[in-house]
Chain A
C-alpha cells in the first residue's frame, strides 16, 4: 500500500498568445507509509506542479493521483484533513500574529497539535506575538511549516522546507522531519538542497525538465549514474602509477605531475570507496612507495544529480 501516489502525470500550461508549456510529462512518484522521499530538481523541473497536483490544487491533464487511497479532487475534504501541505512562497494574512495564524489554521482541523507548543517547536516562541508581515523570510518559512503540521497530518508535502533558513534553523527543521519519521508520518520533501535530501530521505526521485530521470536510494542513484570513487595522492616515485594501474580494483590512473588520481573500476560489482582506499594503500606499501596527501572522494547525490540530469542545463523556466 502506498501513501502518496502520482502515476503518469501530464500537465500542460496554456496561455493565450504563447506556446503551451509542458510542465510534467509522464511523471510518477510514490511514497510508502512512513517513508521520507525526496523530490529533487532544478527550478522549473516541475517540482511545484507535482506538489499542486498531489495536493489537488490543480487537476492533471492525464494520470492518476492518490493520497492515502483517496482522489484529492473528488474527495477534497477528506484528503485536506489528512494531508499537510507547505506551499512555496505562500503569503498569509499579514496583519495576524504567528500565534493567531497557527490557531486559525488549527481551527480548520478536527484534531491537531497544540498551537502554542507547535510555535515553540518550530523555534518561533519569541516571535509568537509578532505580525506575519514583520517576520524575517526565515521566520515566515517556519510559520508555513507549522501550518502544514498543525492538523496532525498522516502525510506531509514540504515544498522547499529550508530555503531561506540559516544553517542553525535548517538543522532544527531537519530534526523536525526526523520526528515526523519517528511518528510514522509519510513525507514528500521537495528540495534542491542535496545535503538535506541525502540526510533525510529514504529514496529520491529526480525530475528534470518535467520528466522523471531516476528514482532510487542515494547509493542506488550514485551507482546508476556510473559514478566511481577516486583516491588522489602525491608521490615522487615514478613506478607508483604502473603499480596502481595493474590492481583489479582500479579502473584508471591519471598522472597530473606529482599527483595521481586513481579511479575505482567500473562494472556491476564496482569498487566501494573504502575497498579502493585500502587496496591502493596496501599496494603502495608492498612496493615501498611513499605517498602523501592521500584523499578519498566518495561520489554523492550532487554528483549523481549532475550526471543524471546533464550539468549544462541551468536555465530557469517560468
Chain B
C-alpha cells in the first residue's frame, strides 16, 4: 500500500491546469450531424414513414368524397366547403398526430433503449437532440402535407388558400405549438407505453374539443370556448380563415403562441436522459 499514488492527493478541490476556460457548446456542425443522423434513422425505417406521408392523403380523400363538399361558400372567392373546412381540419390533424403522438413515442423509445442516456454523457445538450428530432419530424410533416394538397388539387379540385401567407404562418405556428406539446409529453412520460397513452389522450382531448368529430358549435358553450383556445381548435380556426380569405382571429394566434412558449419551456426544464 506504500505505492498508493493518491497519498499526495488531498487538494482535490483545485482545478486542473489546461482545462478549457469556457464551456464550449457543441456548435452548428454537431447539430447538423445529429439532424442528418436522425434523418437517416427515419429514412432507413420505412414503416415509420407511413403515418406522416400516407395518412394525410388517406384522410383527405376519405373526407373529400363526402357529398356536398363542392358547395361554394359565399364571400370566399369561389372556395368550397372542402377548401374552407376539410383541408384545415386535415392539416391540423396531421400536425397534431405526428407532433403529439408519433414524435414523443419515438423519443421515449430512445430514452428506454439508452440512446439518450448515452448522448447525455457527451457535450450534446437536450436542446440539441430535441431540435434535431423536431426538424426531421417537421420535414416529414411538410412532405406529407405537400403530397396531400397535391392529391387534393388534382383529383378533388381543391383551391389554394385565399391568403397564402396567412395560411403558411398559421401552419408554422401550429407545428411549433403541437411539437411543444409533444416534447412536453416526451419529457414527462416515464415509459414508451405511457408516452403513447399520454400523447393519444392529449391528441383526442384537444381534437374532440376542436372539431375533429363534428362542428364545435354543437358543444356546450364553455367547452366550445375552451376548444377554440387549445392548439387544435385554434389551428383549425386560423387555417379556415386563411383559406376563406378572412382575418385570422387574434385569439387563435395568441393560443398557439402561448402554447408553444409554455409547453416548450416546460419540456426543456423537465427533460430527462433516462
Contact B114 A32 (CB under 8 A): no
Among B16, B18, B40, point to the contact of A100 (Cβ < 8 A).
Answer: B40
A294 to chain B, nearest CB (A): 31
Among B40, B44, B115, B121, point to the contact of A92 (Cβ < 8 A).
Answer: B115
- Say if the beta carbon of A237 comes within 8 Å of chain B: no
Contact flags B235-252 to A (C-beta < 8 A → 1, else 0): 000000000000000000
Contact A80 B123 (CB under 8 A): yes
Complex CA–CA separation, A231 to B168 (angstroms): 86
- Say if the beta carbon of B50 comes within 8 Å of chain A: no
Contact B121 A87 (CB under 8 A): yes
Contact A91 B19 (CB under 8 A): no
A32-B5 contact given A57-B121, A70-B19, A77-B125, CB 8 Å threshold: yes
Chain B residues near A96 (CB, 8 Å)? 37, 40-41
- Say if the beta carbon of B15 comes within 8 Å of chain A: yes
B122 to chain A, nearest CB (A): 5
Most-contacted residue by chain A among B5, B33, B117, B273 (CB, 10 A): B5
- Say if the beta carbon of B221 comes within 8 Å of chain A: no
CB proximity to B under 8 Å, residues A287-318: none
Chain A residues near B117 (CB, 8 Å)? 57, 87, 90
Most-contacted residue by chain A among B1, B16, B29 (CB, 10 A): B16
A91-B114 contact given A77-B24, A78-B20, CB 8 Å threshold: yes
Q: Tell me the nearest residue of chain B to A4, going by C-beta.
A: B12
Q: Tell me the nearest residue of chain A to B45, going by C-beta.
A: A95
Contact A87 B114 (CB under 8 A): yes
B66 to chain A, nearest CB (A): 40
- Say if the beta carbon of A216 comes within 8 Å of chain B: yes
Contact A80 B12 (CB under 8 A): no
A5-B12 contact given A85-B121, A100-B40, A103-B33, CB 8 Å threshold: yes
Complex CA–CA separation, A66 to B16 (angstroms): 11
Chain A residues near B44 (CB, 8 Å)? 95, 131
Q: Tell me the nearest residue of chain B to A56, going by C-beta.
A: B121
Contact A77 B123 (CB under 8 A): yes
- Say if the beta carbon of A209 comes within 8 Å of chain B: no
Contact B6 A2 (CB under 8 A): yes
Q: Tell me the nearest residue of chain A to B31, going by C-beta.
A: A107
Chain B residues near A92 (CB, 8 Å)? 115, 118
- Say if the beta carbon of A180 comes within 8 Å of chain B: no
Chain B residues near A75 (CB, 8 Å)? 23
B260 to chain A, nearest CB (A): 26
Chain A residues near B14 (CB, 8 Å)? 1, 69
Among B4, B18, B19, B123, point to the contact of A217 (Cβ < 8 A).
Answer: B4
A3 to chain B, nearest CB (A): 7
Contact A32 B20 (CB under 8 A): no
Contact B114 A108 (CB under 8 A): no
- Say if the beta carbon of A121 comes within 8 Å of chain B: no
Chain B residues near A91 (CB, 8 Å)? 113-115, 118
Complex CA–CA separation, A35 to B6 (angstroms): 10
Chain A residues near B30 (CB, 8 Å)? 107-108
Chain A residues near B273 (CB, 8 Å)? 57
Contact A32 B9 (CB under 8 A): yes
A66-B122 contact given A78-B23, A81-B20, A110-B20, CB 8 Å threshold: no
- Say if the beta carbon of A175 comes within 8 Å of chain B: no
Among A68, A76, A216, point to the contact of B4 (Cβ < 8 A).
Answer: A216
B80 to chain A, nearest CB (A): 43
Contact B13 A69 (CB under 8 A): yes
Complex CA–CA separation, A90 to B115 (angstroms): 7
29 A-B pairs in the complex with CB atoms less than 8 angstroms apart? A1-B16, A5-B12, A7-B12, A30-B12, A31-B6, A32-B6, A57-B120, A68-B15, A69-B12, A70-B19, A76-B23, A78-B23, A81-B123, A82-B20, A85-B121, A87-B121, A90-B118, A91-B113, A95-B44, A96-B41, A100-B37, A104-B37, A109-B123, A144-B118, A154-B16, A154-B18, A202-B3, A202-B5, A216-B1
Chain B residues with CB under 8 Å of chain A are 1, 3-6, 8-9, 11-16, 18-20, 23-26, 29-30, 32-34, 37, 40-41, 44-45, 113-115, 117-118, 120-125, 273-274
